[in-house]
């Protein structure tokens, strides 16, 4: 029997990503006149470069948002879906700052501009503030910056590490990860940095929390059972359950707009792709682009 050309998984990933690049470039060149009702921003890259792309909830990429050849990570949507904030080292060599880009026009500007590293932005549902992590005081602390006037306020100032801030749907609280008790656990605080309370306190490392839009659950990653899986904490009862399990690391959970599904990155240590899973456990693979696909952010998210 005559055999056709066999394409390896790695080649298929490269071909898929090339098609994504061509599609995104065509859309960008023609201008963005319309966006899908459900949008997902994420980072795709390899080596020392990662760009931010936008796709619909079915995994169809419709726009490459950045194209500077640097590391562009942690996209987060504004409330109205017109803007995306992200961390990038495109400015000062080796230092990350927080940038905001207009999805329709591609115009961008720096929100922070320092000699230290600012990363992991999270846009407030009230739209006036972006929480982020900075190593200005050597260790990682959580800050907020006013998008309109650039005023910065430190929310945590202790000697431990705090990172991965995420807002409650009403904008009154921030959930985050910290090693203040020896290992990494999930904590919540008021939006002004006061009233810090623990959410988890187990021997494993818990991190990357994400608050559901309906305010009822917090998804997070934990390695308490070996590799990183996604767990869900129910705020009303204090109960939690494992949403994913298996031999890979499941990372970067983010909620769908209806609070019924979680999108996440599944990593084998060399590459990662994006999946969704419902609260009932039905799983769906969204991407097959190859490389490292990380940090998904779903809109609407409130």
pLDDT single digits (tens) 137-159: 888 999 999 999 999 999 999 88
pLDDT, tens only, 167-176 = 999 999 999 9
Rounded mean pLDDT, 14-40:
57
* pLDDT confidence of residue 91: 79
Calculate mean pLDDT across residues 228-254: 96
pLDDT confidence of residue 115: 87
**pLDDT for res 30:** 39
Instruction: Kindly report the three-state secondary structure assignment for every residue of the chain.
Output: CCCCCCCCHHHHHHHHHHHHHHHHHHHHHHCCCCCCCCEEEEEEEECCEEEEEEEECCCCEEEECCCCCCEEEEEEECCCCCEEEEEECCCCCCCCEEEEEECCCCCEEECCCCCCCEEEEEECCCCCEEEEEEEEECEEEEEEEECCCCCEEECCCCCCCEEEEEECCCCCEEEEEECCCCCCEEEEEECCCCCCEECCCCCCCEEEEEECCCCCEEEEEECCCCCCEEEEEECCCCCEEECCCCCCEEEEEEECCCCCEEEEEEECCCCEEEEEEECCCCEEECCCCCCEEEEEEEECCC
pLDDT for residue 176: 98
Answer whether 0.85 is exceeded by the pTM: yes
State the pLDDT confidence band at 93, using cuts at 50, 70 and 90. Answer: low
Instruction: Kindly state the average pLDDT of the residues 45-49.
Output: 89
* CA–CA–CA angle 245, 249, 255 (5° rounding): 75
Residue 260's nearest CA partner among 242, 274, 280, 275 is: 280
Mean pLDDT, rounded, of the chain: 88
Whole-angstrom CA distances from 187 to 163, 173, 174 are: 10, 10, 8
In this model, does residue 18 exceed pLDDT 70?
no
- Would the pLDDT of 2 be above 80? no
CATH class of 9-299: mainly beta
- CA dist., res. 214 & res. 124, Å (int): 15
The pLDDT confidence band at residue 265, using thresholds 50, 70 and 90, is very high
């Amino acid at each position: 029997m005559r055999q056709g050309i066999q394409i390896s998984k790695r080649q298929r990933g490269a071909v898929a990503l090339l098609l994504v690049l061509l599609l995104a470039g065509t859309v960008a060149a023609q201008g963005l006149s319309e966006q899908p009702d459900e949008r997902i921003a994420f980072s795709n890259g390899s080596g020392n470069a990662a760009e931010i792309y936008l796709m619909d909830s079915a995994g169809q990429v419709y726009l490459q948002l950045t194209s500077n050849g640097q590391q562009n990570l942690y996209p987060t949507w504004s409330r109205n879906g017109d803007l995306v904030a992200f961390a990038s080292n495109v400015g000062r060599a080796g230092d990350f700052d927080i940038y905001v880009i207009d999805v329709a026009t591609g115009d961008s500007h720096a929100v922070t501009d320092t000699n230290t590293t600012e990363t992991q932005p999270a846009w407030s549902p009230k739209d006036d503030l972006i929480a982020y992590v900075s190593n200005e005081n050597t260790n990682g602390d959580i800050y907020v910056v006013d998008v309109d006037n650039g005023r910065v306020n430190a929310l945590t100032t202790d000697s431990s590490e705090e990172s991965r801030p995420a807002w409650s749907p009403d904008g009154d609280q921030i959930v985050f990860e910290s090693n203040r008790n020896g290992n990494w656990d999930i904590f919540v605080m008021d939006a002004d940095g006061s009233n810090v309370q623990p959410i988890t306190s187990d021997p494993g490392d818990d991190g990357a929390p994400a608050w559901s839009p309906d305010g009822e659950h917090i998804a997070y990653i934990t390695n308490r059972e070996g590799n990183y899986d996604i767990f869900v904490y129910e705020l009303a009862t204090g109960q939690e359950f494992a949403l994913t399990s298996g031999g890979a690391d499941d990372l970067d959970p983010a909620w769908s707009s209806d609070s019924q599904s979680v999108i996440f990155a599944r990593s084998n240590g060399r590459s990662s792709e994006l999946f969704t899973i419902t609260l009932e456990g039905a799983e769906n693979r969204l991407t097959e682009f190859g490389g490292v696909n990380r940090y998904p952010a779903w809109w609407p998210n409130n």
